[in-house]
Amino acid sequence: MTINPSLSAPGPGRPKDPAKREAILAAAQVLFLGNGYEGSSMDAIAAEAGVSKLTLYSHFGDKEALFCAAVKATCETRLPRRLFQLDDEASIEQVLLDITRAFHALVNSPESIGLHRVMVTMATQNPALVRSFFDAGPQQLLLDLQQLFGQASARGLLRIPEPLRAAEHFCSLIKGVQHFRLLIGYSDAPDESAAEAHVQDVVALFMRAYQR
């Protein structure tokens, strides 16, 4: 029996099912973070999400687009946008502590370490994918921090003439040498006490460097 493709998937003008999109993203996050980019096929992701490949491709045009969307979704889940909001009554130090805790936990997680290792190995094989990964994850974090630091400086909470440069300093402080040790398998992730001590040190140092 011949199936009319127009009856099998939404047409160009039809709204797509948001629940299926979320299921696809959830499946992609699990498989990409667990198996890496090359180890995760679109067939496996569709099966994990409980959708057809036709549905998968109707939401995400290709594997690279799905990968970038999954990276972005992971970052938005672990580093929600509310963390970067500077309310009128907000303490900039508390905002920085919350961001530092969330980013430190994310970047040192086994899934993140595994993904970073995959990106390093693919740097020469698929540089376009690596750039897309950076734009979807790390670059977005830098832009969010740039906006936050710009607002903090405008309100007189900090003195930051170059917000983007300060964002790069901040991320480098959070990752520190420990992140490199994890990448090369030199040590295990810090325990809760050591992680919190690092978070406190980072924010205290950043505040001293940029306080008015």
Query: Could you read off the pLDDT of 18-72 as tens digits, one per residue?
Result: 899 999 999 998 898 888 888 899 999 999 999 999 999 999 999 999 999 998 8
Q: What pLDDT shows up at residue 3?
A: 39
Q: What pLDDT shows up at residue 4?
A: 45
Cα–Cα separations (whole angstroms), residue 78 to 28, 39, 67, 181: 16, 23, 17, 22
pLDDT of residue 10 exceeding 70, the answer is no
Residue with tokens 């595994």: 114
CA distance 46 to 34: 16
Tokens of 31: 């498989």
Whether the pTM exceeds 0.75: the reply is yes
The pLDDT-based confidence of 6 (bands split at 50, 70, 90) is very low
Q: Name the DSSP class of 211.
A: -
CB 203 within 8 A of CB 190: no
Cα angle 146-148-81, degrees, rounded to a multiple of 5: 105
What contacts 24+ positions apart, CB below 8 Å, involve 73-77?
A: 73/25, 73/29, 74/29, 74/33, 74/137, 75/106, 75/136, 75/137, 75/140, 75/141
